[in-house]
Amino acid sequence: MDKIDICSLYLSELAQAFKEDGIPAFRAKQVYGWIIKGAGFDGMKNISADMKKQLAQKYTAADNVRIQETFISKKDGTKKFLFALGDGNIVEGVLMKYNYGNTLCISSQVGCKMGCAFCASTLGGCVRNLTAGEMHNMLILANALDADKEHRGVTNIVIMGSGEPMDNYDNVVKFLRLASSPDGLNISPRNISLSTCGVVPGIFKLMEEDLPITLAISLHAPTDDIRNQIMPVNRAFPLKELLPACAKYIERTKRRLVFEYALIGNMNSSVEHAKQLHKLVKGLMCHINLIPLNEVEESPLKPAKPSEVEAFIKTLEKLGVSATIRREMGSDIQGACGQLRRKYLGEDKR
């Protein structure tokens, strides 16, 4: 029988499972308290050796995922983790320090099947989905490691690592509820962003979840013609379906939406493209996050020139579109999606 991962359970579910085994409810509370601190059974100090042994036969604790390696940026203190999962798979996570708090960027799948032309995560395809417990376990570990003197730990989460969250919908939504549970790390949904490449049915589902998170859409192009060239998902869900879904999401949740737009040279970064982008999002309560393209070795796509980036954002500003350029974090430690995992697995052929 597969063991039950306590990181995948709410406290109420653990209490119920304990009850069925005749273990009193206060034990569930004690064990859960240790779990969210990142403990394995060995580290649970007020639990007897006998009970630890009993539990370890049926359950796994917060050591089901391990931090295999940590890379720390000398430039900005960004930490990049390689997490080793129970089955030996490796996924990445990144912890970025901002003035307002600490943001953990988390993966939702091992690899990705969406095939975006600029993205390293998708090069080896999708190996498997992450479970809610694995994502929660990674959060717990990063939080425990970083609970510094002020015990701030992780204050914000972005689901912007490897994988397409809408392709692993149920696990991702359970993870969001675990992370924001008052019995757990209690991270406010308002401090959580989820990014999708534009899987429209997922957007419609998410708006009904009553989760006041920020939805980010990887747009990256102002026309179907361009988007088709760099994002295969656009053939399934073209802009005439994606944009109305976004409008509906904003109307339903009353939450401002974010469009991510990576500026790629000779592709989507001219002043004309900025004008087209304005037309596309006009009237929507949204913000445009401009991302300088991170060069991926296997891809011929190049970042737009700094002067083009400047002209692009100026054009948007003049037209009244709210836009900022994303600060690059951890550029000295392979900060971009999927690059570090590939390096670790030796798939970048260097």
- Enumerate binding residues for ligand SAH (CB under 6 A): 114, 116, 118-119, 160, 164, 195-197, 218, 260, 262, 291, 293-294, 296, 336-337
Whether 176 and 211 have beta carbons less than 8 Å apart is answered as yes
Rounded CA-CA distance 207/215 in Å is 9
Least distance (Å) from ligand SAH to the CB of residue 122? 9
Residue 70 burial (CB count, 10 A): 14
**Closer residue to ligand SAH (CB): 218 or 253:** 218
Name the minimum Å distance from CB 276 to ligand SAH: 19
Task: Look up residue 303 and give its DSSP letter.
Answer: B
Catalytic residue among 126, 246, 286, 337: 337
Active site residue 134: no
- Minimum distance between the CB of residue 52 and ligand SAH, rounded to whole angstroms? 38
Q: How far is the CB of 116 from ligand SAH (least distance, A)?
A: 6
Of 102 and 294, which CB lies nearer to ligand SAH in the complex structure? 294
Q: What is the DSSP secondary-structure string of 273-300?
A: HHHHHHHHHTTSSEEEEEEEPPP-TT--
Taking the complex as a whole, the smallest distance from the CB of residue 271 to ligand SAH amounts, in Å, to 21
Nearer to ligand SAH, 218 or 268 (CB): 218
Q: Count Cα neighbours of 229 within 13 Å in the Cβ-side half-sphere.
A: 12
Nearer Cβ to ligand SAH (52/205): 205
Q: Which residue in the list 92, 134, 164, 308 is annotated as catalytic?
A: 92
Is the distance from CB of 220 to CB of 268 less than 8 angstroms?
Answer: yes
Beta strand 156-159 with 101-106: parallel, antiparallel or unpaired? parallel
- Cα–Cα dist 32/26, whole Å: 10
Q: Is the CB of 148 or the CB of 298 nearer to ligand SAH? A: 298
Shortest CB 168 distance to ligand SAH, Å: 10
Residue where the block lists tokens 């960004």? 78
SS3 5: strand
Q: Which of 208, 151, 147, 143 is nearest to 179 (CA)?
A: 143
Radius of gyration of the chain (CA): 21
- Tokens of residue 207, six digits: 């708006």
The dihedral formed by the CA atoms of 70, 35, 168 and 67, expressed in degrees to the nearest 10: 10
Type of residue at 15: A
- Residue placing its CB nearer to ligand SAH in the complex, 64 or 218: 218
Q: Is 92 a catalytic site residue?
A: yes
Active site residues: 92, 337
